[in-house]
Amino acid sequence: MANYRQGRQSFILPRPPAITAWASCAGKKESEGPLAHTFDITSQDTRFGQRTWEQAEKQVQRLALGKLAEKANMKMQDFQLIFSGDLLNQCIGSSFSLRNTGIPHLGLYGACSTMAESLLLASMSVGGGFADHAVAMTSSHFASSERQYRFPLGYGGQRTPTSQWTVTGSGAALVCAEGAGPRITGCTIGTVTDLGIKDANNMGAAMAAAAYDTIRAHLTDFSRTPEDYSLIITGDLGQMGKDLLLELAKRDGISLGGRLEDCGCLIFDRKIQDVHAGGSGCGCSAVTLCGYLLGQLQSNKLKSILFCGTGALLSPTSTQQGLPIPGVCHTVVIEGGNG
């Protein structure tokens, strides 16, 4: 029987699925940032025409998915399988975006690691022959996140220097057994890691340990070094978390310095956009991947990336009960479309 397991936490894809199309939809603040030109759809209306923030987040997913279908030259109802999830309680962004579309759906909860988790599972389903193609998708919305995890916006709470700004946006990628595009060649599955960080306004620190654990496991499982990648890109550690990850690696004698970047640091201009430590949320890595990163891979400006989705597995309840914030990180190797 075929065995594609690699080391302790990883697997390879001997017939690497291709990401043949991708699409992104982002909000107003994101459209004023450095990656603005890479988004397919942007809106100046943060409600996206909906009555509530939660429905706005649903709508962001719908817009991204519709755009993906258009770019893939498919009808939305022809999608065979969608892996998706989001940050809202009971993932209602994802459930309501797919309501009555007739598309088979497997719901995920990986907090902000969901773009990587959904890509990993999409590549497993396609690489294993269980689907011809699968969509990986996720979203977040600044306003729905703030009121759920922290304070209602109207309260006007002061933000701490370590806090991050939840990205309003959704990214969707089509993973196919056949076709041209950047290819997924291997994945590493993360473990739930907890360094005892309890500050819900410093999620970068809470996630950095998980990011380091999975990156180290990945390099071990594949016998690789950071230099084997054009870029090691984490999802939403922000500046604080990124610095901590560099430090954790350095202590073990691993230099990530020249290769490491973070979507949360790329998506906003911290000097002028007042986002404190950077961007965060499922949408942060999703819109950065489904635009800038896949574009760079497609045009061979990047040869290969280690895409590291990072998630803080807290809930307001666990925080109120004084529990620490466990983190998780899943990584996906994506190689340039033209080999």
Which residues sit at the interface with its own copies, rule CB under 8 A? 1-5, 8-9, 11, 15, 51-52, 54-55, 80-81, 85, 87-92, 95-96, 98-111, 117, 120-121, 124-125, 127-132, 148, 177, 189-194, 313-318, 321, 323, 326, 328, 330
Please say whether the beta carbons of 307 and 301 come within 8 A: no
Round to whole Å and give the CA distance between 174 and 17.
10
Q: Are 292 and 266 in contact (CB under 8 A)?
A: yes
**58 vs 276, beta carbon nearer its own copies:** 58
| CB of residue 135 to its own copies, shortest distance in Å | 13
Q: Shortest Cβ distance from residue 87 to its own copies (Å)? A: 8
* Residue 137: CB minimum distance to its own copies, A: 13
| Residue 233 contacts residue 218 (beta carbons within 8 Å) | no
Q: How far apart are CA 34 and CA 83, in angstroms?
A: 28
Cβ proximity to its own copies: between 32 and 194 the closer is 194
Residue 152 CA, distance from chain mean position? 25
CB of 210 to its own copies, least distance (A): 11
Residue in the structure block whose two tokens are 């990124």: 242
Cα gap 153→56, rounded to integer Å: 15
Are 98 and 82 in contact, with CB atoms under 8 Å apart?
yes
Tell me the closest approach of the beta carbon of residue 228 to its own copies, in angstroms. Answer: 22
Residue type (1 letter), 106: L
At a CB cut-off of 8 Å and minimum separation 6, what does 280 contact?
112, 140, 164, 165, 166, 167, 203, 204, 236, 238, 264
Contact 53, 222 (CB under 8 A): no
Half-sphere exposure (Cβ direction) of 147: Cα atoms closer than 13 Å? 10
Q: How many residues does the chain have?
A: 339
Strand bridging mode 10-12 / 5-6: antiparallel
* Nearer residue to its own copies within complex by CB, 41 or 91: 91
Among residues 63 and 195, whose Cβ is nearest to its own copies? 195
Q: How far is the CB of 274 from its own copies (least distance, A)?
A: 27
Between 182 and 311, CB nearer to its own copies: 311
Task: Name the minimum Å distance from CB 111 to its own copies.
Answer: 7
Distance of closest approach, residue 172 Cβ to its own copies, in angstroms: 16
At 209, list the tokens.
Answer: 């340990």
Identify which of residues 52 and 299 has a Cβ nearer to its own copies in the complex. Answer: 52
Of the pair 49, 102, the CB lying nearest its own copies is at 102
Query: Of the two residues 89 and 300, which places its CB atom closer to its own copies in the complex?
Result: 89
